[in-house]
Amino acid sequence: MPLLAVNVDHVATVRQARLGQSPDPVAAAAMAELAGARALIVHLREDRRHIQDRDVRLLRQTIKTRLHLEMAATDEMRGIALELKPDMVCLVPEKRRELTTEGGLGVAGREKELAAFVAELADAGIPTSLFIDPDPHQIEASIAVGAAYVELHTGAYSDAATRETRQAELDRLLAAIPLARQAGLGVNLGHGLDYNNIYAFKDTSGISEYSIGHSIIARAIMTGITEAVSTMAAIVAGFPD
């Protein structure tokens, strides 16, 4: 049975809007575990726009399932990973001006560099996943690098504007899954998956993990806002005129 891995980055996004303490992604991660998440994901970006070092350290100490750390392949992030030893590292591309990760990691052409990076993590007992587009060349390069997993980027499928484009992107993903599996790679899916488009994979075998964040956090805001407002309204109603 595939795992649900919940990304809590956007809880931190709301917190950082005020540079305060609430909402706390560490608390959100604990609640996600109690609700059925089998892994928690955080992306520690170089610019620290949402998740902070404090968050990752507390998560490593407190979560009961698995901690997956998304990060760029930099010396700084390698040092953090080797110190904290997450249960998995997922290497992702990173641009300063992007709103969110815009595409898969270009592994092809960087095999030597990334192989050394992955090997050092593997020597420390940390398996590596590579966030890639569902492209045979990127899968071949991921094999050469020595990755344990690939996370296939589902963004083009999720964001497709027409039925024809969506089907074409789905076909690319469905072709890439067995290709990677046959090569001995574990396969995860992530980026833009929501409560509707995920059903396209309900009969698809060979997927180890679904990585989902934004749609879960967005739904949590809407499903929880009634209780949050009614509680505050009751408090205010008890104050004097």
Catalytic residue check, 137: no
Q: Number of C-alpha atoms within 13 angstroms, CB side, residue 232?
A: 5
Q: Kindly name the residue from 33, 70, 94, 151 that is annotated as catalytic.
A: 70
How does pLDDT run across 176-225, given as a tens digit for each residue?
A: 999 999 999 999 999 999 999 999 999 999 999 999 999 999 999 999 98
How does pLDDT run across 20-51, given as a tens digit for each residue?
A: 999 999 999 999 999 999 999 999 999 999 99
CB 91 within 8 A of CB 73: yes
Going by their DSSP bridges, the two strands 186-190 and 128-132 should be labelled as unpaired
Catalytic residue check, 43: yes
* CA pair distance 90, 127, nearest whole angstrom: 9
Q: Kindly name the residue from 50, 68, 153, 191 that is annotated as catalytic.
A: 191
